Amino acid sequence: MKRTIPVLIASIAGLVLIIAHFVPPAQSWGDEVNTWFQILAAFAFFLGGGSLLKMHLKRISDQQEGWGFSAVTLLAFGITLIVGIFKLGVLPSETYPTKPWSGEYLGDGGALWWIYQYLFTPLNATMFALLAFFISSAAFRAFRAKNTEAMILLVTATIVLVGRTYAGAFLTEGFNPHWQLAAIIDEWFMSVFNTAGARAIKIGIALGVVSTSLKVLIGTDRSYLGSEE
């Protein structure tokens, strides 16, 4: 029963969506399922939060290695959650000036806005920017022309890297100043070889999704329910 009911719910919801897609009079059924999905998705936030608390509290109570990071995570989670839910520092909206909580949760000057602007944004951008350093180190250490395939990859990468900057135009403008040879070659690689590969991958993924979805709908694939225990 514990597994049969979830499988039934998944199968019915999936079948309704398929019918709603192909049978226009049944379209409203699909809308109903979509609305249910959004309500359920909201509850998933609670589950996610609960799971995060459970995992990190356990690490702290067991004094596992790196438990300090768990404490920082929970502190950040708690502060962000409280200032967001209570809209601390957010001014009421112009439409409802007498209602204290009517302002947008990320309203200018609010505590959540401050966290986003001065903590989240620089940290997030820094993490991504570090890629430039790791890629440059990897370019030196790992990109070796050890065989023909690697050689083709390296030559293509070099053309695309140069073609995506002014260097490509500068190096090839001798051919014709109004005709960017490097950019054209770069575009040709992207539009012909890359597109052919991308389309093949996308069609393959789509077929895989159809096959997996069918297995879920008829109940043979129950991996999304977790382990049997």
Stretch that binds another protein, among 26-34, 49-57, 60-68, 213-221 (CB under 8 A): 26-34
Tokens at 89, concatenated: 């520092």
Specify whether the CB–CB gap between 105 and 111 falls below 8 A: no
- CA R_g for the chain: 27
CA separation for the pair 146, 151 (Å, rounded): 7
Taking CB under 8 A as the criterion, the residue among 191, 211, 212, 225 binding another protein is 191
Give the per-residue contact string, 135-154, with another protein (x = CB under 8 A; - = no).
xxx-xxx-xxx--------x
- In this structure, the chain runs to a length of 229
What is the per-residue burial (b if ≥16 Cβ within 10 Å, else e) of 77-87?
eeebeebbeeb
How many residues bind another protein (CB under 8 A)? The answer is 61
Rule CB under 8 A: is residue 82 a binding residue for another protein? Answer: no
Stretch that binds another protein, among 38-46, 52-60, 74-82, 215-223 (CB under 8 A): 38-46
CA dihedral for 106, 107, 112, 115, sign (positive or negative): positive
**Chain centroid offset of residue 102 CA:** 30
Taking CB under 8 A as the criterion, the residue among 15, 18, 91, 190 binding another protein is 190
The residues binding another protein (CB under 8 A) are: 27, 30-31, 34-35, 37-38, 41-42, 93-96, 102-104, 106, 108, 113, 116-117, 120-122, 124-125, 127-129, 132-133, 135-137, 139-141, 143-145, 154, 157-158, 161-162, 164-167, 169, 180, 183, 187, 190-191, 194-195, 198-199, 201-202
